[in-house]
Structure 1
Amino acid sequence: MRLASVAAHFGRDIDRSLQKMAGIVADARAAAVDLLVFPDATLGGYLSDLRHPDAHALPPALREDSFEVGRVIAMAGDMVVCFGYTEDAGTGLDGEQVHYNAALCVTGDGVLGRHRKVHQPAGEALVYRAGDVFAAFDTPVGRLGMLIDYDKTFPESARSLALDGAHVVACLSAWPASVTDRASRLPQDRQSRLFDLYDSARAAENQIVWISSNQTGVMGGLRFLGQAKVVGPGGDVLARTWSKGALAVAEVDVEAEITRSRRLLHHLDERAPASYVVEMRGGS
C-alpha cells in the first residue's frame, strides 16, 4: 500500500486551496497512492496568531455537507483522502456559533470518518470548541484514526486510537515554529524537534503506522514547519519532507509490518492499566 503525507501551504482562499488539492491528488494518483493525508486547515487556513486570534480574520467555516467538501469527495475517487477544515456545527445552546478545528476522511463514496480536535493550545479555545472523543473507523486501506496537531502531544490520544483498532493514524497539523523562543534556523527550533520526536514516539509506543502532515509557509505571525512524514511501527521514518512544500510517499505492507513489530513485544497487550491509576489522597 502506498501512503503519502502532504507538506503545503493553504490559506484563506478556499477556491485556490481546492485547485491546489486537485493538483496534489492528481500527482498522488499518478504515484499510485492509496492514502493521502493533507494538513490541518486545508480548506480556509489556520489562525494567524495563537495568543490573540484576530476575530476579523478567522478561517471560513464550512458544514460537512457543503459544496466545498463535496468537491474534495469528488476528486478523491477511489483514493482515501484526509483533510482539515473549520467545521460549522451550527448554533449552540448559548446562541453562539459553534466551530471546531476538524478533519474528515473521505473517498468518492463519501465521508468515512471525522475528528474534532480535542487538545487546544494557547488562544485556540477563543475560536474553536474542543472535541471530546478519539475513535477509529474502517476504510478501504484498513482501520484508521485521525488526530489534529496538538493532540499528538498527549500520548493518550494515539493510544486511544490504537486500542480502538487503528493500525494507521493520520495526524494533520498546522504546527508552527516556537512563538516564544524562535531559532534562527527551523531545524534548530524547539518545536521542530518536538514535532519529529512526537511522530516517532507515537508510532513506536503503539506499534502503528503514523502519517504526519503539516502546513508550510507563513500565516500572520506563525511560521509553519512542514516536516511531513510516514513513520513505521518501530518509530523509523520511512519518508519525509523538510520545510518546503512536498509529498512524502512510502510503500508499506501495514499489516505485515505491525505483525512483525508486535511478534515479541506487544505493547498494547502488555499494558498494566491497574497500575496507572493515580489516587488523590488527603483531600485536595
Structure 2
Amino acid sequence: MSMTKIATVNFETSMDKQANRAKMVDFIEQAGAQGCNLVVFPEEALTGIGEAGFVAVSAQDKLGIYSNSELVPEGESTQMFIELAKKHDMYICWGMAERDPERDFAYHNACVLVGPEGFVGRYRKTHLVLTEGFYHFPGTEFPVFDTALGKVGLYVCYDMCFPEVTRILANKGAELLISVTGWPNVTGTDDASGHTEYMLFQKARAAENMVPIVVSTLCGQYLEGHSMILGATAGKVIACGGYGEEMVVGEMDVQREIVEARMLSMGGTDLLRDRRPNLYGELVEPNAFNPAYNVDPRGC
C-alpha cells in the first residue's frame, strides 16, 4: 500500500478552447511540480458548455461545442495531454466534447483518462440531463481501466444521481472512482439546493460502494465548484475546495481506504459482499415514469 497524491481542479471554462487548454496546462504543470500522481478537470472543461450551460442551449452554442469537439485519442488535445502525463509521470483526467468518428455532426459528453503509458480510455456520459440530449449522444458502456493507481472507473455529472452507475463500476472491481461534473448552484451559496444535492449524491456514492471518489467540478456563475476528494468510509472528506477557481490537493492510500471501509466501518459490514443480485431483476424492468426506456431513445 502506498500514498497517492491527487489534484482536483475547480475550473471556469469558456467557449475558447485554446484558452481553456492553456489554463489546463498551467494547472497540470503546478500539479506536476507538487509531485501529484493524478490531476482531474471537470466536465466539458476543455470544450466549454455554452452561454446558458446545460439547462438551455442555443443553436450557436451547439455549433460552438461541435466546433470545439475532437476525436479521442487521436485529437490534438488528447495527444498533448499524453505528452504532459509522460513528462510528469502522472495521470490526467478531463471532460470534453468527443466527436463521434462514425456519425456525422455527432458528439459525446466524454471523460478521458491518459497516463504515463499513453491513452488509458474514455467514458461517455450515459444519463443526459434536460436539453443535453438535444446536442449530445449518450454512452452505453461502463468501462473500468487498469492503471498504476489501481482499477479506475469514470462517470460524468448527472450520472451521480443514478446509483446503478457507480455500483456497476464497483462491481467490476473499480478501486478509485473519478467524477467530472458541471453541477449547478444558482445562488452560489451553501444553502442552495444545488449544493445540498451535489454533496449528498457524491458522498452517498462513495459510502454505498465503499470506494474513494475524486470529484472535479466547474466553477463560475451558477456553478457549484467544491471539487473534492472523498474517502471510502461514509462521510470522509479528505480535501474540498470552495466556489472559486483553484486546485485542491490531497493524499490517500487508495487500497487502505477500501480495506478500512469494508473491514472497520459499520461494524465490519461490507456492502458489496452482502448484495443479493439474484433479487434485483426488477431494477431493469421499464417503469411507470419511462415505460419505453428499455430502448435507447437516441437509437444508440
Q: Tell me the TM-score normalized by structure 1.
A: 0.90
Amino acid at match of 2:100: A
Answer yes or no: is 1:89 the counterpart of 2:88. no
- Contact kept? 1:135, 1:160, Cα under 8 Å: no
Structure-1 separation of matches of 2:276 and 2:114: 36
The residue aligned with 2:112 is 104
Alpha-carbon deviations, 1:11-57, whole Å to 9, x = none?
11121112111111111112211111111112111243334311212
Q: Which has the higher helix share?
A: 2
Q: Secondary structure at the match of 2:146?
A: strand
- Contact kept? 1:170, 1:210, Cα under 8 Å: yes
Answer yes or no: is 1:126 the counterpart of 2:153. no
Answer yes or no: is 1:248 the counterpart of 2:257. no
Q: Pick from 2, 10, 13: which aligns with 1:7?
A: 10
Alpha-carbon deviations, 1:97-147, whole Å to 9, x = none?
221000110024321021000001100000000001111111121110100
Relative distance call for 1:228 and 1:160 in structure 2 (3 A) is same
The residue aligned with 2:80 is 71
Q: Tell me the TM-score normalized by structure 2.
A: 0.85
Structure-1 separation of matches of 2:10 and 2:125: 19
Q: Secondary structure at the match of 2:123?
A: strand
Structure-2 separation of matches of 1:158 and 1:234: 15
Aligned residues: CA RMSD:
1.8
- Contact kept? 1:91, 1:97, Cα under 8 Å: no
The residue aligned with 2:162 is 154
Cα drift, residue 248 of structure 1: 1.9
- Contact kept? 2:43, 2:157, Cα under 8 Å: yes
The residue aligned with 1:268 is 272
Q: Which has the higher strand share?
A: 1
Query: How many residue pairs end up in the alignment?
Result: 270
Cα drift, residue 159 of structure 1: 0.6
Q: Pick from 23, 27, 33: which aligns with 1:24?
A: 27
Alpha-carbon deviations, 1:193-243, whole Å to 9, x = none?
11111111111110001000001113xxxx211010000001311100010
Structure-2 separation of matches of 1:212 and 1:51: 21
Q: What stretches of structure 1 of length at least 5 have no aligned partner? A: none
Amino acid at match of 1:71: M
Structure-2 separation of matches of 1:258 and 1:108: 25
Q: Pick from 166, 173, 178: which aligns with 1:170?
A: 178
Q: What stretches of structure 2 of length at least 5 have no aligned partner? A: 286-290, 292-300
Relative distance call for 1:53 and 1:255 in structure 2 (3 A) is same
Structure-1 separation of matches of 2:14 and 2:85: 21
Answer yes or no: is 1:196 the counterpart of 2:196. no
Amino acid at match of 2:239: A
Structure-1 separation of matches of 2:183 and 2:101: 27
Q: Secondary structure at the match of 1:97?
A: coil
- Contact kept? 1:18, 1:72, Cα under 8 Å: no
The residue aligned with 2:51 is 48
Percent of counterpart pairs with the same letter?
Answer: 28
Answer yes or no: is 1:33 the counterpart of 2:36. yes
Structure-1 separation of matches of 2:155 and 2:216: 11
Cα drift, residue 162 of structure 1: 0.5
Alpha-carbon deviations, 1:231-270, whole Å to 9, x = none?
0001311100010111222111111121111112111111
Structure-2 separation of matches of 1:135 and 1:44: 23
- Contact kept? 2:144, 2:172, Cα under 8 Å: yes
- Contact kept? 2:233, 2:260, Cα under 8 Å: no
Q: Secondary structure at the match of 1:188?
A: coil
Amino acid at match of 2:261: S
Amino acid at match of 2:157: D
Amino acid at match of 1:67: E
